Structure 1
Amino acid sequence: MEIKEEHIRETERLLINGNLFDTDERVPFIKNLDSCDLLAVPGSGKTTVLLAKLYCLAKHLPFKDGSGILVLSHTNTAVNEIEKSLKKVVPILFEYPNFVGTVQSFVNKFLANPACFLKYGSYIHQNDNDIYEKEAEKFYYSLPWKNTEPKGLRNKLFGKVNHGKGTISPDEKQQNVIEFLKYFELDIIERKIKYNNKPFYTFNGTAQPYYLELEQWKEDLFSKGILNYRDSFYLGDWFIENNPRITSLLKKRFKYVFIDEMQDLEKYQIDIIDKIFYTPESQSTIQRIGDINQSIYNSGKKVKVETDWQPREPVMYLRDSYRLTKENADIVNFFTLDRQQDENGNQRFVVNGKRELVNAIKPHLILFDKTTKGKLKEKFKELIKENQLDQTVEGKKYGFKIIGWSAKWEDEENHDGKFRLEDIFEEYKKDNSSIKETYTSLSEYLQYFDKNKRTLKAARKAILNALIHILRIENKKHAVTVRRKDKERYYTKKDLIKYIQEEKNGSNYEEFKSKLYKWSFDLAVKQKHEEVYHCIKDFINSDFKEWFGFEITNETQNFIGRNFEKLIQVEDKQENKQKEGINIEIGTVHSVKGQTHCATMYVETAYQRPTYETQKIIKNTSNPLLFHEHNCNGTYDKQALKMMYVGFSRPTHLLCFAVLKENVKDKIENYKNAGWEIFDLTENGNDKNNINKLH
């Protein structure tokens, strides 16, 4: 099979406004149907070329041998982008035998869900870290404190988890144990408990009774269908181990396997995909796509220094960035941690900026201090207006962002005057409105649903999730029969609706359906959050508790709240622009990964030691901000390099780096000579006259 030129021409009209894919890098990848890895620089359009390839392949569906295409990504956002771009034009790609989804959803569907049923008699009911962590806290508080021998599990964990941690308070010790219960891993095949990638208890160890107690708790959760994300992969491994034929079936079903965002996958995710498809007898084509230098996520919530993805030969490259100008790309290039040198020392991973502006914009260095940090946002707006970026197509489409590595302090102690985003921007509150299934209050459910879709479906889902959250708090379950055995399960949204339909011959259902529609409409369309809150609160305290037979406990009352709590929302960009003229969003580097901005201001913030980014990356005569090859060898230094690489590579036009003046004051002339446009906001500076113009 070959990719046809006519289909490539169709993708150019569909995906890149009739422009042409270059024949040096993009067309060769689109046409390549052999296994390979693709390393792509920021803004190179890696997802676009993947979309083009998928479109061209879909034109050959169904394949004669009955096989299909598997498309995996790390996040739902990337999956949604694929669906949005291709579902209407090649709907067959989203039909059997093809599969488009996240790695998590693939493992759940084909491995973990059948494994959970076979081994524990339950399909996956809740695959959610938030719900799992609440179960861990409940389990901890159910454990008795037993000082006599043999000591109880709670006592044992206090000693083992806190061993070697020095003098810490009882509260800190307790929190450490709860953290252990939230994050330990159960290796089902080896019957081992792991924590922080180290063995903790084993079935064959001297502490077998404690292992068995923890294993029993985990398996009780599995029998209720409650898993955290990592559990799915251990169950998947167990399923492959005990049903090896499944790998043959999957290899036969999926002739082509494409994995986007490879840099964000962790080893256990990579391993299970390889275990299925990357075998000597496999006939599947596997193509893995990403940027190893943008791997800033991992489950430990720390920036990855080395990605778990190790590219395999043959490797193809997309080096040309159509997002970045030459001026910005030249900066980004010196923050590349892994340049993929060949055997002769030649750099294979190089960021080439291809965007051309009528008037080139230099990168801007903004100097501030403790007393002038409040001027940063207004200075950013001033530069946007000065360059008329608010009038550009990119300004209207992508907007403007201020970003930083560290957002909030985890405690309220004295931080020695150091800054994080919340210290610099008073209006900033780290956005808690990421779309989740569970929240901590009724007010959050009614405000933090997927408002960008502005659909009744999204609002309805949020309301039903809040109601089943209450049933979970009240420990209300319903009877089910699984494999001829009677069991109890927590309610799902579907179960809740079914119960109301069947209760009292459905006499309550029409009334509930009418209320649910009105609440959903008022949330999604009229934005009446507080009014809906009070209606649902009254409903919970009357009909709902009566229908499901429970009293309102203190925990449920705390969840509902005494009064509506108005929360900071991410409003519609266009509405904000009308209110403020220029809307500046503030967020973390992690929150903007994968985004494009018209203008980006990266503000250095305090994280570990050395404290600020400039203190981490500047090593004597080596300074990537001055177009020097970096000399970053320490963990925190490399982390800073990667964060700046991701942050600096967002803008199409204007890149600003806001830095504490005290960290660069001895080298200001060097920055000017290197090509930075410099503005000094401090008392001794003179922002009315650009420093470059003073010399």
Structure 2
Amino acid sequence: MYASSSDIINVASSDIVPNINDDDVNACIDALDLDGVDQNRRDYLKSTSSCDVSACPGSGKTTLVIAKLLILTRKWSSRTRGICVLSHTNVAKDEIRKRFGTLDNRLNFDERPHFVGTIHSFIIKYLATPYLLSIGYKPKVIDESIATIMRKKYMGIRNLRLAEYFLESKHRTFDQIRLESTDRDEPFGTKLLGIAGNDTKTYINIRRAFRKSLDEGYFTPDDMLLFGSKYIELHPEVASLIRDRFPFIIIDEMQDTDEQQNEILSLLFPQNDKSICLQRLGDSNQALFATGKMVRLASHSISLSNSFRFDESIANLANRFAVSPVLPNGLVGRRKVPEQLLTIHNEFIVFDGKNISQVLPEFAKLVSRGFDQNEIEKYPVAAVGARRYGDDLGKEHDKPKYISDYLPDNLQLENDKIDMNDDFDSSIIRARLKIAENADFSVGLNQIASDFMRIIANDLSPELRTTPHMSKFRQFIHLFNSPENDDAAKVRELLFALLNPRKSLSASKTKTLCDDIQNMIVSKLQILGVSTHPYVDNFFQKLPETFSMIDFSTPLPNLRNKDCFIFDDIQIQLGTIHSVKGETHLATLLLDTFDHTSFVKSLLPWFVGDICNATGRQSDKQIARMKQCYVAMTRPTHLLAVAAPYSSLGKTVQETRQSIDKLHAIGWQILTIGSDLRS
């Protein structure tokens, strides 16, 4: 049920939570110079009672949270009880802290009494760690990849190989193993992954390795959720103490909360508890990351249905893919279109299989013709799809199956042009040279990653090496994945800056980048206990000083890889739909991919306007595709495009033509590449 302003009743959760009046809201709006603050947004800013906020893409949800925090902290008086702001990712947490920190230096969210962080970090700090310390564990590292590496190490080479052979025969992997219980005798229940009983050698050996890793302080984030749940189960009074500590709670992106997280949050902060104010924000139509039973926002909520990101043309096309209707009257686009951009139309690109490599260049041409350089520099241009690659990547398969199928074939170097040694300096030069000559960024990234993984392999035993089917760069980055920090993203960003062959680097800039990369890598290796090995020391002994020895100022061919495609100076970022959730683009191209069926074909009734929203007859797979499509189509500010082969629009030429006519009728401009060759 849609909530109007008369439905929102402010009930002070305690004497600590301040009342908020119109003057407070107006002062905040003036301080932040906010536009478009309608009645529903004012209702949320004034509310001090528990409520849900259903916020459509581009509705300014983060800005609204910042505004709410500004109002609250200006009136907050307690030094011992505070506001708890929970998000799903470190990126969201950092964005809130960064934007809030620019408002007033006195409003510090890094110290008591407030808390701003991820759900995982909150549970780790206030539940899991206290409990683990009380039963004799001392958490040293909370990291998925490192904990798995150490558990493989504690297995021993022989036992690990036997276990992996058995798991592989049952179509399982060691990395899939999770603690299911805090019971040291049956940490995986009565059967490991449902295939190995607790009296088998496989179960016993893996149990021993997991015990050892816990005793040594190596935990995964999921382990911490498990021990956090156990703490509440054994000591339910802890939940009451936490509610007293944090009487006002804001949870962002609530739709992505999984079942285990929601269970813990429900115990800590019950919705019907009048002693607290619980405000949850999100959009169930964008629930891409939740696992298990999806946590829905209450139907009775404040609805923010108007988006400042895009105009009405994009809103009308995307609205059909909202699983739950956007209340009260569907998705609304409020971005004003400048007169010079009125000629830009949302494009549906239809192509034949022989011309699939022309899709990205044609999209780049649309962007180049439609926007000037100032517009292009404001937001990225992106092409996204449901599947990036699969196990059969590099083998013959029908296209398009993956995002990578849209890329032109890359040239591969037969031999290195320069004789290199195993050091960081040589590795960087070799990587940049390969990027320049192959017109492929991924070749350089994989080169430096391969060099480094080979170096540490000299010291790491086989059980510490990462999954072989992953690319070298993904193996390398995998070592840095952690819910507690953005190390993986930072290392990736540093390497991109260092390897970019289109830029010349000064000595000082080169040194700064190399020092930062070295510090992050060595810090991670210290945890693995291999940073003092002479091979690692030698690798970093010689650092690059400058790249003047190679002329990177000459024009280069188009860079193309899984992450970026450049055509006519238009840089198109490539990624999965999941990877761009929360992003804003100037233009977005949704690429058709294949997973049991064509992505576009499975949603064709919605694309052509025959169906709007979920009808109750869709499978879970189709609902998931609708959400992905909704997320993808609500990224752009100006230009939305979709690319699909003729075959995805109909079984016959006649059916395809009918689909094209329907697409045009509901607002799509049709761009054809090649002709439908079917008889």
- Regarding TM over 0.5, the answer is yes
What SS is found at the alignment partner of 1:185?
coil
The letter for the 1-side match of 2:177 is Y
Change (3 A) 1:669 1:57: same
Please give the secondary structure, in 2, of the residue aligned with 1:371: helix
The question of 1:2 aligning with 2:38 is answered no
Structure 2 letter corresponding to 1:248: S
- In the TM superposition, what is the alpha-carbon distance from 1:580 to its structure 2 partner? 5.4
Contact 2:51 2:279 in 1 (8 A): yes
Query: Is residue 2:41 matched to residue 1:41?
Result: no
**Partner deviation per Cα, 1:589-634 (whole Å, 9 max, x = no partner):** 1111100111111111122x22x1122123xxx4343253255612
State the 1:62 CA deviation: 2.8
Q: 2:384 touches 2:588 (CA, 8 Å); kept in 1? A: yes
What is the alpha-carbon distance in structure 1 between the residues aligned to residue 178 and residue 20 of structure 2?
Answer: 47
- Aligned partner of 1:438 in structure 2 is 479
Deviation at 1:417, TM superposition (A): 4.0
Compute the displacement of 1:352 (Å).
Answer: 1.2
Change (3 A) 1:325 1:449: closer
Q: CA deviation at 1:197?
A: 12
| Superposition map of 1:319-330 within 5 A | 319-330=305-316
Residues 520-564 of structure 1: CA distance to partner in whole angstroms, max 9, x if unpaired? xx79xx78999xxxxxxxxxxxxxxxxxxxxxxxxxxxxxxxxxx
Could you tell me how far 1:191 is from its partner in structure 2?
Answer: 6.6
Residue of structure 1 aligned with 2:172, choices 166, 169, 176: 176
Task: Provide the residue aligned with 1:301 in structure 2.
Answer: none
Indicate whether 1:356 and 2:336 are aligned: yes
- Quick check: 1:117 aligned with 2:133? yes
Size of the aligned set, in residue pairs, is 556
* Matched letter for residue 404 of structure 1: G
Q: CA deviation at 1:435?
A: 11
Secondary structure of the residue that 2:135 maps to in structure 1? helix
> Which residue of 664, 667, 670 maps to 1:672?
664
- Are the equivalent residues in 2 in contact too, given 1:325–1:653 (CA < 8 A)? yes
Q: What pairs up with 1:542-581 in 2 under 5 angstroms?
A: 581=569
Deviation at 1:137, TM superposition (A): 3.5
Q: Which moved more, 1:125-134 or 1:444-453?
A: 444-453
1:311 positional shift:
2.1
CA distance in 2, matches of 1:375, 1:196: 54
Matching of residues 10-89 of structure 1 within 5 Å: 10-15=27-32, 17-23=33-39, 25-63=40-78, 66-89=80-103
1:137 aligns with 2:152: yes
CA offsets 1:409-465 (integer angstroms, 9 cap, x no match): 22344323443111211458599689968259xxx9996255799999986564234
Other-structure match for 2:112: 96
| Structure 1 residue 379 displacement after superposition | 1.3
Q: Which amino acid aligns with 2:633?
A: F
Shift of 1:349: 7.4
- What is the match of residue 396 of structure 2? 414
| Structure 1 unpaired stretches of 5+ | 146-152, 162-171, 299-303, 341-346, 477-490, 497-511, 531-565, 686-695
Secondary structure of 1:332's partner?
A: helix
- The answer on whether the counterparts of 2:177 and 2:193 sit within 8 Å (CA) in structure 1 is no
Q: Are positions 1:401 and 2:416 aligned together?
A: no
Q: What is the aligned partner in structure 2 of residue 288 from structure 1?
A: 280
* CA pair 281-88 structure 1, distance change in 2 beyond 3 A: same
1-structure distance, mates of 2:37, 2:475: 35
Q: Are positions 1:448 and 2:492 aligned together?
A: yes
Q: CA deviation at 1:99?
A: 0.5
Structure 1 range deviating more: 367-376 or 236-245: 236-245
Q: 1:143 to 1:5 in 2, by over 3 A?
A: farther
SS at match of 1:2: coil
The match for 2:221 is 229
The offset of 1:588, in angstroms, is: 1.4
Matches of 1:239 and 1:529 in 2, distance apart?
60
Q: Answer whether contact 1:40 1:318 (CA < 8 A) is retained.
A: yes
Equivalent residue for 2:180, pick from 186, 193, 203: 186
Query: For 1:334, which of 306, 320, 328 is the aligned residue?
Result: 320
Give the Cα–Cα distance (whole angstroms) in 2 for the partners of residues 434 and 453 of structure 1: 20
Q: Which amino acid aligns with 2:518?
A: I
**Could you say if the C-alpha distance between residues 339 and 379 of structure 1 is closer, same or farther in structure 2, counting changes exceeding 3 Å?**
same
Spell out, residue by residue over 1:286-322, the C-alpha distance to the aligned partner (whole angstroms, 9 max, x if none): 1111111111125xxxxx6x86212236421111111
Task: Look up the equivalent residue of 1:178 and give its one-letter code.
Answer: F
Indicate the SS of the match to 2:84.
strand
Is the 2:577–2:631 Cα contact (8 Å) retained in structure 1?
yes
Aligned pair partner of 1:661 in 631, 646, 655: 646
Which of 571, 588, 598 is the equivalent residue of 1:600? 588
Structure 2 partner of 1:464: 519
Q: CA 1:638–1:251 in structure 2 vs 1: closer, same or farther (change >3 Å)?
A: same
* Aligned AA (1:187): S
- Deviations, residues 101-137 of structure 1 (Å, cap 9, x unaligned): 0111111111222222222331x22211111222343
2:404 match: secondary structure: helix
Once the 2 structures are TM-superposed, how far is the Cα of residue 76 of structure 1 from its aligned partner?
0.5
Identity over aligned pairs, percent: 23
Separation in 2, partners of 1:436, 1:325: 38
Secondary structure (helix, strand or coil) at the match of 1:110 reads: helix
**Structure 1 residue identity aligned to 2:122:** F
Partners of 1:656 and 1:406 lie apart in 2 by: 17
* C-alpha contact 1:73 1:259 (8 A) present in aligned 2: yes
Distance 1:118 1:67, change over 3 A: same
Q: Which moved more, 1:418-427 or 1:592-601?
A: 418-427
Change over 3 Å in CA distance of 1:333–1:313 after alignment to 2: closer
Shift of 1:215: 3.9
Q: Which residue does the alignment assign to 1:272?
A: 264
How far apart, CA to CA, are the structure 2 residues paired with 1:419 and 1:196? 40
Q: Is the 8 A contact 2:321 2:606 kept in 1?
A: no
The aligned amino acid for 1:89 is L
> Conserved in 1, the CA contact under 8 Å of 2:351 and 2:674?
yes
| 1:158 to partner: Cα distance | 6.6
Partner of residue 506, structure 1: none
Matching residue of 2:619: 634
Distance 1:263 1:13 in 2: 31
Q: C-alpha separation between the residues in 1 aligned to 2:239 and 2:476? A: 33
SS in 2 for 1:385: helix
Distance verdict in 2 for CA 1:438–1:190, change over 3 Å: closer
- Normalised TM-score (structure 2): 0.72
Counterpart amino acid of residue 675 in structure 1: G
State the SS of the aligned residue for 1:186.
coil
Q: How far off its partner does 1:646 sit?
A: 0.7
| Structure 1 residue identity aligned to 2:93 | V
**2-structure distance, mates of 1:396, 1:45:** 21
Worse overlay, 229-238 or 271-280? 271-280
Q: Write the distance in 1 (CA, Å) between the matches of 2:497 and 2:442.
A: 23
**3-state secondary structure, aligned to 2:99:** helix
Contact 1:293 1:338 in 2 (8 A): yes
Letter in 1 for 2:267: K
Residues 282 and 297 in structure 2, CA contact (< 8 A), matched pair in contact too: no
Q: CA deviation at 1:177?
A: 4.2
Task: State whether residues 447 and 567 of structure 1, in contact with CA within 8 Å, keep that contact through their aligned partners in structure 2.
Answer: no
Q: Give ranges in structure 2 of 5+ residues lacking alignment.
A: 1-17, 409-439, 446-472, 482-487, 499-508, 551-558, 650-655
| Other structure's SS at 2:247 match | strand
Other structure's SS at 2:310 match:
strand
Give the deviation of 1:275 after TM superposition. Answer: 1.2
User: What CA distance in whole angstroms lies between the structure 2 residues aligned with 1:28 and 1:645?
Assistant: 27
Change (3 A) 1:673 1:279: closer
Change over 3 Å in CA distance of 1:50–1:459 after alignment to 2: farther
The answer (yes or no) to whether the contact 2:321–2:627 under 8 Å persists in 1 is yes
Corresponding letter in the other structure for 1:295: A
| 1:201-234 alpha-carbon deviations (Å, 9 max, x no partner) | 99xx874887665444323212222111100111
Shift of 1:13: 4.4
